[in-house]
């Protein structure tokens, strides 16, 4: 009798463990074909791959599922986002699976031709680049003018501009005042 109760209890525990997992499927969003060999990671550290028919089993208690496949965009889901039994993955559209370059020598020759200077630049490079020796007197004179006389002239110019604007405002106000006065009778 005890053996029967123990076996029934064991059967009940095993059935609960089996029922505590959900069977899901991973599908390509464009072609609607199941995707095999998708790595499914849970935040609890469980790792598995989808079978040939895109199916996998998920425990009922997890905080996050991560899906990775080289030909699809990486995706993660929270338990609240699992509404059905199908997970849709988007294919990577703007990536190349493989790039093969043939003829490295030819590529180097093309790049050398592209990077070759033009005829005009080659002529300019041949001209001697003469740098005068000694101090640059014109640059020194320009600097002195800017620091001394230039500041004074700029300040005088700003002052004249401001005075002119003030005179124009005064004239405008005077015209308005004259318009408000009653005409004088003789």
Q: What's the pLDDT at 68?
A: 93
Single pTM value for the model: 0.42
In Å, the largest CA–CA distance within the chain is 138
Name the pLDDT band for 62 (thresholds 50, 70, 90).
Answer: confident
Q: Calculate the alpha carbon distances from 17 to 27, 36, 46, 84, 162 in Å.
A: 26, 25, 16, 21, 90
Cα(74)–Cα(41) distance, integer angstroms: 11
How many angstroms separate the CA atoms of 169 and 177, rounded? 12
- Can you give the pLDDT at residue 69? 93
Q: Does residue 3 have a pLDDT over 60?
A: yes
Supply the pLDDT for residue 158: 92
For the chain, percent of residues with pLDDT exceeding 90: 30
Q: Choose between 186 and 163: higher pLDDT.
A: 163
Band of pLDDT at residue 40, cut at 50, 70 and 90: very high
**Residue 46: predicted pLDDT:** 86
């Amino acid at each position: 009798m005890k053996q029967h109760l123990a076996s029934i209890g064991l059967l009940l525990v095993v059935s609960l463990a089996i029922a505590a997992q959900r069977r899901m499927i991973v599908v390509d969003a464009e072609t609607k074909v199941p995707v095999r060999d998708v790595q499914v990671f849970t935040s609890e550290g469980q790792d598995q791959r989808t079978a040939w028919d895109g199916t996998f089993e998920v425990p009922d208690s997890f905080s996050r599922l991560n899906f990775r496949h080289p030909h699809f965009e990486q995706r993660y889901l929270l338990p609240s986002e699992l509404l059905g039994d199908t997970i849709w993955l988007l294919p990577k559209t703007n990536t190349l699976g493989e790039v093969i370059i043939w003829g490295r020598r030819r590529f180097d020759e093309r790049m050398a031709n592209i990077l070759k200077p033009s005829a005009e630049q080659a002529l300019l490079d041949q001209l001697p680049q003469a740098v005068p020796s000694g101090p640059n007197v014109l640059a020194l004179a320009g600097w002195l003018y800017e620091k001394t006389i230039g500041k004074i002239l700029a300040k005088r110019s700003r002052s004249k501009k401001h005075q002119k604007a003030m005179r124009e405002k005064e004239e405008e106000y005077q015209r308005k005042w004259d318009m408000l006065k009653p005409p004088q009778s003789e």
